[in-house]
Chain A
Amino acid sequence: MRIVVTVKYVPDINTDRGFEDRRVRRTPDEGTLNELDENAVEAALQLVKAAGEGEVIALTVAPPDGDPALRKAFQLGVDRGIRVSDDALAGADYFGTAAALAAAVRKLEEDGPVDLVVTGMAALDGLGSVIPTLLAAELGRPALTLAKKVTVADGVLAVVREHDDVTEELSAPLPAVLSVTDTANTPRLPNFKLIMAARSKKAEEWTGSDIGLAAPAARTETLSAGPRPERPEVQLVTDKGEGGKALAAYLIENDLV
């Protein structure tokens, strides 16, 4: 089984995130693999193991300093890592990113079919949860998204999908696109052996022209991005028997009841 897993390089949610020149500020120190893509990597590794043979290829669309995501993916045990970087993708919207990911998958298919593309449920910077669907549309493949349970048997992918207040069971023949939630599995931790092995693995660098990408023009334009005013200092009350009354009073005084 040959699986591509998409991984995004995002600002760590534990750092002070922000914008610069109307684009998300990315610094290598504060950049990391989107945590939710660890579930995607884990799902891919488990599926290849269950199939008995195959390859997991991590794919990212990122600026040239976007390798921390691939480095982490290597430490988790993926076989190959590919970064697509191109100036034309710098201001890409969802459609540009999806087109680039699709073009890279097609390029990979020149030397063998890709049975499955696995993605995370959302990128923690933008929280769009639309790339898996758009990537499948670009590739003309079925999308089974937000899977909390995944099985592959006889070339058919089956999932239990949970979203909003709905639970669904869906299936589709491979090749397909799959997105997994953070409850689908527990991502492994990199161990010493994997960390050492990861050191010798090198990210492959592809440009837009390598993959025959004509990046579509962005359909949205960020006009402004500014930090919200700080919240006023918290009003702290220590409960000495009247804490609940104080809470109720706060709600009532602010007309919130």
Chain B
Amino acid sequence: MTNRTVLVLLDPATEVRSSVLELFTVARGLGTVEAVALEAPTVEVLAQLGAYGVETVRQAEFSAAGGGVVKGDERHLPALVAAALTAAVRRADADVVLLPSSFAAKEAAALTAHALGAGLIIDAAGVAEGADGRVVGSKRVFAGSWDTACAVTTPVAVLTMRANAVVPVPADAPVNTETEPLAVDVPESAVTLTSREVKPRVGDRPPLEEAAIVVAGGRGTDGDFAPVVELADALGAAVGASRDAVFEGWWDTYVGQTGVTVAPRVYIGAGISGAPHHRGGMQASQHIVAVNSDPEAPIFEICDFAVIGELADVLPQAAEEIRRHKG
């Protein structure tokens, strides 16, 4: 088991997101860890990779079919990411490829598995070695109501992993991470990328998909997200919403099956009824808390703790207590 080579996608390479630190942590349990980057990692990033036991970073250098180097935003397109991962698997003779579970990464994972004839597991909550030495991915499905385990039957396994699957832990002993160039031929493609914009991250607030605590507001906020934001900031949490609240223009990202799927340690839903589409994106959370003025709110069926009350009263009071507790 320890002579497996595990590749982890590091995109971007200018920071290491907590979801990627989780992947390194999981990867160390499976074998030798390498990262695949689409650009040069910064010095700080290299130090972090070393701390997490990443032996090698393979830095893709894309050359286009007609000659020339590809350096622009195209590098992040799934087809190019997949070309890099495929080249890296062949070069490193790797056995496992781990990616986060973003939409873009899922597509890159699919194309990598397609090119390599490898088995693919999407949205794993855990990866381990089965009794017979095969890679086994565990998944939580149907809005967190069933657990499944899937073995990959091919020599190479490609998996995307949900954020918050494990707590990131540095290696017992840091290593000296080597950077190695990786030549990648850009596949022929008829797709033209005309623009690409990445939403800037707001202040210290963690991104929704990676946060350990999420506070989400729904139609019950009636457009005033201030109490939701106040509690989130007191907890150092991310802010989310229901789709209805986003469609109303009250917030920009929603939790749910078609929005962001979250599985934080704590999910707090305020003024959210708990429709099946919404549940599908948060029901795998470890602790579920709700604040709702309707004693019959469906979300209570899946809660651990809930307050029947006005969110504009309950959330600020809770925030106050949390701030006091933190000192």
Residues of A whose CB lies within 8 Å of any CB of B are 13-14, 17-19, 22, 36, 93-95, 121-122, 124-130, 133-134, 137, 141-146, 163-173, 176, 181-182, 217-228, 231-232, 234-239, 241-252, 254, 256-257
Contact = CB atoms under 8 A, between A and B. Distances in A.
> Which 5 interchain pairs have the tightest Cβ spacing?
A244-B317, A239-B309, A219-B119, A248-B321, A163-B103
A244 B319 CA distance: 8
B120 A130 contact: yes
A136 to B, nearest CB: 9
Contacts of B171: none
B110 A130 contact: yes
A247 B261 CA distance: 24
Given A13-B276, A224-B149, A228-B146, A122 B257 contact: yes
A176 to B, nearest CB: 8
B153 A249 contact: no
B196 A243 contact: no
- Grouping DSSP codes into helix (H, G, I), strand (E, B) and loop, the A interface class, with mixed when no group exceeds half, is mixed
B301 to A, nearest CB: 8
A140 to B, nearest CB: 10
Contacts of A232: 304
Interface residues of B, number: 89
B223 interface: no
User: Which residue of B106, B150, B257, B307 has the most chain A CB atoms within 10 A of its CB atom?
Assistant: B307
Given A169-B194, A238-B308, A223 B104 contact: no
Nearest to B258: A182
20 contacts: A13-B280, A19-B146, A94-B122, A128-B122, A141-B190, A143-B191, A166-B197, A166-B199, A167-B196, A168-B196, A219-B120, A224-B147, A225-B148, A243-B309, A243-B313, A243-B317, A244-B314, A244-B319, A248-B325, A257-B235
A121 to B, nearest CB: 7
B219 to A, nearest CB: 17
A220 B308 contact: no
A143 B301 CA distance: 40
A127 B78 CA distance: 18
Nearest to B293: A239
B123 A236 contact: no
B107 A236 contact: no
B245 interface: no
Interface in B231-253: 235
B153 A18 contact: no
